[in-house]
Amino acid sequence: MNIYEILTESASAFSNKPAIVFKDKPVSFKELREKVLSLAWGLQGLGLGQGKKIALYLPNCPEYVYSYLASFLLGAVVVPLDYMLKADELGACLSHAETDFVIALPKQEIDWTAIAKNIPSLKKVISLGAEFEKLFVAGSPIKAFGDDIKETDPALIMYTSGTTGRPKGILLNYKHLQGSPEAMKYFVDLKPGDVKLCAIPLSHIGGFIYIQNCIIFGITLVLMDRFHPLEFLKNIAQYKVTCFHIVPPMYTAMLTVKTIELFDLSSLRWVVVFGAPNSPEILERFHRYCPNAKLLNGWGMTETCPPNTVTPLDNPKIESVGKPAPSCEIQIVDEDNNPLPAGETGEIVIRGWVVMQEYYKDPQATREAKRGGWFHTGDLGRFDREGFLYIVGRKKEMIKVAGQIVYAPEVEAALCRHDAVLEAAVIGMADDMRGEAVKAFVVLKEGKNVEPLEIKYFAKEHLANFKVPQTVEIRPFLPKNRTGKIDKESLKQEALT
């Protein structure tokens, strides 16, 4: 992917049109190109170049976009880091990646001097503000930008903890940067007139896709520094947003806004849910407020340049996550890696050029994940006879109750059908009699008041006895990670203590 050519073409085609809008301030496509090129000159002057690693520790802001793109122009390796990471976590990721440079918005609790002492490779930490602004150097763009970059050169190391705890560095190359845009072109009908609203961290693959959509399809990106349900709804109405992709709990949060019916959401053409098994009821409830919008469900992973499946625009089976993109092949396999027929549940495996290069500096994890020529996702799913994929849950979320398998998302979906339940999370707890027992954490809708026993009785009406939660704990809220997903690891740790 040649970022220089893409920026030049978009600046020529959409010169004064807003590329980014952040806190009501627009940045045109022409300005975007100028800022990215001048920042690339400045970073090159510091020594950033091909194969050098630059970490970005920022909240969502236009500077994040400039930094990504300028670094790619130079053939550097970008290491985007979640802005909520603490000092120890930051140090571990920076050290593991052998980072050369960091661009960061200062935080009182982060002592960069102390962090840098333990990272021999780190040459400079650039603070957002005056120091960062000095990097913008005017210069004539030359062919050198991007000409020497090979498709196999490393482009991104994205750290993700997933549901397994220990963060892994997912290494993607410059060819992989084409994966998500090609899939978007196949699945949806993005046009230059579209306006997409992003409240997902740009350090996450789901946020990074918004940047790609902006420069490749010529859309306007309305960027929020963080997700807030009321502000999200305001932005849809104010900017006539046409599409977005978010995770299920974000839809749930918007449905709690008392004044949701006062917002004009008629501009929405399609909305996507991704990132976690979801209850179709949540999307359908949201759809009441934007009946013109098509509901889409998608699936993919950082390791596989998502989206890898999306429901079709013309025939959405919203309970499924759609069919695979042409860039990949997907199978369902059993514990012995034998392909399973339609209707049977097993692990989702995927192969194709969109699969990551490796887990950075972790050959054992790479071999384990990519065994047999397929990437083993750890997600459980099944195909129907029409070739639509359904996500059942994570392998690690399977709960074995007296030899019977319980899938947490199925129980969560059943609990969410209760009129008083806003959201639910289900985990497995050690049980002397049955091996494991089902425990549910439930958040009630505002103004609703029910007892845990009533929720258990409700579950018995909709689930087999072995799937019914042994215990139900009602909470005011559920812990979430930065992408808005429910943090089940945190719930498990709390339950153990």
pLDDT in tens, 413-422: 999 999 999 9
pLDDT at 412: 93
Residue 221 and residue 32: Cα distance in Å, rounded?
Answer: 12
What's the pLDDT tens digit per position in 145-195? 777 899 999 999 999 854 444 668 999 999 999 999 999 999 999 999 999
Taking Cα atoms as reference points, which of 119, 184, 160, 147 lies closest to residue 4? 147
CA 384 to chain centre: 26
Torsion of CA 184, 189, 192, 193, to 10 degrees: -130
Number of helices and strands in the chain (H, E): 16, 25
Query: DSSP string of 434-453?
Result: TEEEEEEEEEEPTT----HH
CB atoms within 10 A of CB 312: 14
Q: What is the CATH number of domain 227-394?
A: 3.40.50.12780
pLDDT at 468 over 90: yes
pLDDT attached to residue 150: 94
CATH for 402-496 is: 3.30.300.30
**Ranges of each domain in the chain:** 3-184, 227-394, 402-496
What is the C-alpha to C-alpha distance for residues 136 and 134, in angstroms, rounded to an integer? 5
pLDDT higher than threshold 50 for residue 480: yes
Cα(488)–Cα(412) distance, rounded to whole angstroms?
12
Question: Would you call the peptide bond into 341 cis, given omega within 30 degrees of 0 as the criterion?
Answer: no
* Per-residue pLDDT tens digits for 365-375: 999 999 999 99
Report the C-alpha gap between 450 and 474 in whole angstroms: 9
Both tokens of residue 475?
A: 């909470």
Over the stretch 314-342, which tens digit does the pLDDT of each residue have? 877 888 999 999 999 999 999 999 999 99
The CATH superfamily holding the domain 3-184 is ANL, N-terminal domain (3.40.50.12780)
pLDDT at 393: 85
Alpha carbons 148 and 162: distance in angstroms, whole number:
34
pTM score: 0.89
Which tokens go with 231?
């502000």
pLDDT of residue 29: 98
Per residue in 222-249, pLDDT (tens digit) is 999 999 999 999 999 999 999 999 988 8
- Domains 3-184 and 402-496 equal at CATH topology level: no
Distance in angstroms (rounded) separating the CA atoms of residues 169 and 129:
28
Q: Burial, 474: exposed, middle or buried (Cβ in 10 Å; 0-12, 13-18, 19+)? A: middle
- The reported pLDDT for the residue numbered 164 is 43
Q: What is the mean pLDDT of residues 305-313?
A: 95
Burial class (CB in 10 A: 0-12, 13-18, 19+), 326: exposed
In single-letter form, the type of residue at position 17 comes to K
What is the per-residue pLDDT across 27-51, written as a single tens digit (0 to 9) for each?
Answer: 999 999 999 999 999 999 999 999 9
* % pLDDT > 70, the chain: 96
* 142 pLDDT above the threshold of 70: no
Q: Convert 68-99 to b/e letters by CB count within 10 Å (16 or more is b).
A: bbbbbbbbbbbbbbbbebeeeebbbbbebbbb
What is the pLDDT confidence band of residue 94, given thresholds at 50, 70 and 90?
A: very high
For 54-83, how does the pLDDT look when each residue is reduced to its tens digit (9 = 90+)?
999 999 999 999 999 999 999 999 999 999
Pairing of strands 398-401, 404-407: antiparallel
